[in-house]
Amino acid sequence: MDSHIENISKEAQKLGCSVETGAILKDYTTFKIGGECPLLVKLNGEESFLRLIPLAEELGVPYYIFGKGSNLIVDSDGINGVVFVSGKDFSELSCIDDNVIECQAGITLSRICLAALDKELAGMEFAYGIPGTLGGAVFMNAGAYGGEMKDIIISVKAMDRRGAVKRYSANELGFSYRRSRFTESGEIILSAEIRLEKGISAEIKQKMDKLMEQRRSKQPLEFPSAGSTFKRPEGSYASLLIEQCGLKGVHVGDAEVSTKHSGFIINKGNADFSQLMELIELVKNTVKEKTGYVLECEPLIISDKRERNDRR
């Protein structure tokens, strides 16, 4: 192990973080694609963020921050550097008042939805079943079924790469379609305040169950994926364009355009990074040639062979 990475590992263990050397990253992504990285650290609180991220910056060690790995495409050949996981070890939830809750970035959206249901708070139902963490959802302004994170977030606590912490109000977050200030700034989301509305438990649960059933019936949840593979182009829908181009069921190896929902590229078993990227390019090129629309990949692509993406 590189001496700088070893220093990060030792510091992480001092802070009580779980560490894993030679971690296989497909085990940390919903696509089930990804090779080895030298060190994976499960961050366990703000102190671990404040100490370890600036240390990696100081040492010049490449690093990425994963949540649940639900919006990532990771190279099967592995990546250099450190993967920091903001997950269940950083997932506390607390109530500030009757309809405002604060959650750490590693908490899953489904867990927040269930907590809101328990407290008879409405407004979070759209996120039930989105397979990600709060940090990733805020980062990309995740949304579904007419709701987006921008509708419920009232403030976000974040840190810069040097460890300076700041809380941003809603009007400073720069939310737009699948974007936020954090997609550009490189700041790391630590927690967020969510404002919901008083509701009726039975009605909230009914809506959650209805939306979950819609997901199951329309989306290929039985296969690994990163959710929607392409952002919605202005004036149309990626799934509609892909279907119109006759691309449903097209595959490269085990990477396939879902026959259930053409907006999803799925892993039918043993797809690897090269197969997935070849299929993504095939879809983009075909759609552009036949319709004129340019599709943009929604998941972040993490590979040492490509230009470095924003880390999160």
Residue 147: Cβ within 10 Å count: 16
Average pLDDT of the chain, as a whole number: 94
Q: 174, exposed or middle or buried, with CB in 10 Å at 0-12, 13-18, 19+?
A: middle
Q: Which of 125, 193, 256, 298 is catalytic?
A: 298
Q: Which of 178, 232, 311, 312 is catalytic?
A: 178
Confidence of residue 136 (pLDDT cuts 50, 70, 90): very high
User: Which tokens belong to 50?
Assistant: 């404040």
79-126 confidence digits (pLDDT tens): 999 999 998 899 999 988 889 999 999 999 999 999 999 999 999 999
Sequence length of the chain is: 312
> Is residue 178 annotated as part of the catalytic site, yes or no?
yes
Structural domains of the chain in order of their starting residue, each with its CATH number: 3-87 (3.30.43.10), 91-199 (3.30.465.10), 220-302 (3.90.78.10)
Q: Span 50-59, mean pLDDT?
A: 96
Confidence of residue 1 (pLDDT cuts 50, 70, 90): low
CB 35 within 8 A of CB 25: yes
Distances (CA, A) of 69 to 28, 83, 217, 248: 6, 11, 23, 25
201-249 confidence digits (pLDDT tens): 999 999 999 999 999 999 999 999 999 999 999 999 999 999 999 999 9
Please report the pLDDT score of residue 310 as a whole number: 38
Q: Span 124-140, mean pLDDT?
A: 93
CB 264 within 8 A of CB 225: yes
User: Which tokens belong to 302?
Assistant: 């993490």
CA–CA–CA angle 57, 154, 84 (5° rounding): 25
Q: Which of 48, 228, 239, 258 is catalytic?
A: 228
